[in-house]
Structure 1
Amino acid sequence: MTEPLHYDVTGSGPVLLLMPGGAGHPMGLGPMTDRLAERFTVVTYDPLGLAHGRLGRPVPDQRVTDWSEGAHRVLQEVLPAGDSGYVFGTSSGGIAALDLRARHPERLRHVVAHEPPCVTLLPDGAQQRADLIRQLTGGRLPSAEEESTSPMAVFLARVLGPFTTYTPPFSAPAGLTVAAGADSRGQVLHRTAESVARHTGSPFTEFPGGHLGTLEHPVACADRLAETLLPH
């Protein structure tokens, strides 16, 4: 049986699908969403339904393809027949956005992937992945009890490991911009975003702030995103 979809819609204009980072919980994205809703119909996808009453239910290890196929189903529900939409994904959501673009380019106008942690693309990718997981988890995965109460714990236990093994297709269909935070320069995820751009033959740009720029500088990031998308 097909799992139900969980998403919220606000604003008017061209459809813009937002794919949050972490475990997909849209916590903290309200200010950015409000700003974008002045120009777009903003569809915020919650792949695990954690913001829709499913936090506390058991979550298996996540697959990138499940998130991207779910996002495609969302677009099928919200897009008028024959139309296409914009997509913005950050962090783990950025990885899902890359996979969505590779699988279903026909429904997409343009995709922006912000600091997708595809660290295995780096020359020292295996070591960088191990370091990233160790840094974020402190060397200990969350307990089942912690997972039941915290989206961050779900991310660390069920999303971080499998998602950071993802490698985007080489020279995938056109219509992608890869972004990194200006404050991330010199850090591994900025280098990773540049590598993703080279790997896919896509333009690279910088957004305000760092990895969490969408939360720390929501209006500036929303405006930068609109500037990136609307020419397409």
Structure 2
Amino acid sequence: MPEPVTHTLDVPGAVLTYDVRGELSNQPVLLMIGSPMAASGFPTLASHFEDRTVVTYDPRGVERSQRTDGTGELTPDDHAADLAALIEALDAGPVDLFASSGGAVNALALVAQRPELVKTLVAHEPPLAALLPDAEAALKACADIYETYQRDGQGAGMAKFIAIVSFEGEIPADYTDQPAPDPAMFGLPTEDDGSRDDALLGQNLRGCTSYRPDLDALAKSTDKVVVGVGEESANQLAGRGGKAIAELLGLTPEVFPSNHGGFLGDEYGMPGKPAEFAVKLRDVLAR
């Protein structure tokens, strides 16, 4: 796989950083995105697509992509505008797009608004809590995570986040009344360091999980959309969000190997099954 070449792109309110592996002029482009996962989460998956030009990027406010609009929460529509600007800057025609987690929510917003920029979107486990039958309890839990982070810091907020995303099945109405998980259980700090710049907890969590995609617009582009769920995580919040949007669009979810991060190698010390995942992704994109 060619070494990535790094570029920057000025957009309203941010300077985005993205990496290109391969030549834009003579190979199909495969854009791999997450949110708040940055380009650093995709080297292993990218290595399985030597025949493609693979582009990865850091969403605004994450790692190398600095915001110039200050701080505060963002919406999937904000990220969709950044993705549109990035694809236009590549000037390589409509792209294939693999989008994970919050990136899948942002990519659905992009397809609804700018379908001409995308050839095929594989939206893997979008955490669309607002579409679930237990939406009220799920969104209350997400709001509680945000409030915990603002009050008690990153360790306390992230412990609650880990607990909710790994919860199996519907979120009970009294979920937030239960004792909070101990951050130390997850190797997280128990003391508040005073920082409030976490991209997941402070910037993206509420806007992502509460987002309601434009179903009428997406219904016109269902031939472009594939929804993926993990074989081990399909009954967790993000997998259930994937199944919910698939049902609303009349699509059958594709089951991918492993879990929510099934495409990961050793990037974060929690490897999935990246080789098997890549085979499935290649098959889906070839249809």
Confirm or deny a common fold (TM above 0.5). yes
Q: Which of residues 53, 66, 69 is equivalent to 1:41?
A: 53
Secondary structure, counterpart of 2:39 in structure 1: coil
Of 22, 37, 40, the match for 1:11: 22
Gaps spanning 5+ residues in structure 2: where? Answer: 1-10, 155-192, 265-271
Tell me: CA distance 1:185–1:140, structure 2 relative to 1, closer, same or farther (3 Å). Answer: same
- 1:222 maps to 2:233: no
Q: Is the aligned partner of 1:73 residue 2:129?
A: no
Q: CA deviation at 1:58?
A: 5.3
Which protein is bigger by CA-based radius of gyration?
A: 2
AA matched with 2:46: T
Structure 1 residues 147 and 30 mapped into 2: Cα distance closer, same or farther (>3 Å)?
A: farther
- Conserved? CA contact 1:113–1:178, under 8 Å: yes
- Indicate how the Cα distance of structure 1 residues 163 and 199 shifts in structure 2: closer, same or farther if over 3 A, else same: same
Asked if the contact 1:113/1:177 (under 8 Å) is kept, the reply is yes
Paired residue for 1:32, among 39, 45, 48? Answer: 45
Aligned partners of 1:165 and 1:155: how far apart in 2? Answer: 14
3-state secondary structure, aligned to 1:206 = strand
Matches within 5 A, 1:67-216: 67-80=79-92, 83-132=93-142, 134=144, 139-141=148-150, 142=153, 145-148=194-197, 153-171=198-216, 172=218, 173-174=221-222, 175-215=224-264, 216=272
Structure 2-normalised TM-score?
0.69
Q: Indicate the structure whose relative CO is greater, using CA pairs within 8 Å and at least 6 residues apart.
A: 1
Letter in 1 for 2:235: G
For residues 11 and 97 of structure 1, do their structure 2 counterparts lie closer, same or farther at Cα, with a shift above 3 Å needed?
Answer: same
One-letter code aligned to 1:19: I
Contact 1:67 1:96 in 2 (8 A): yes
Counterpart CA distance in 1 for 2:147 and 2:117 is 40
The reply to whether residue 63 of structure 1 matches residue 92 of structure 2 is: no
Residues matched between the structures, number: 221
Is contact 2:38–2:58 with CA below 8 Å preserved after alignment? Answer: yes
Query: Structure 1 residues 169, 35: CA separation in 2 closer, same or farther (over 3 Å shift)?
Result: same
Percent identity over the alignment is: 27
* SS, match of residue 6 in structure 1: strand
What is the root-mean-square deviation in Å for CA atoms of aligned residues?
Answer: 2.5
Higher helix share: 1
Looking at structure 2, the residues matched to 5 and 206 of structure 1 have their Cα atoms a distance apart, in angstroms, of 32
Q: 1:53 to 1:130 in 2, by over 3 A?
A: same
Structure 1: tracts of 5 or more residues without a match: none
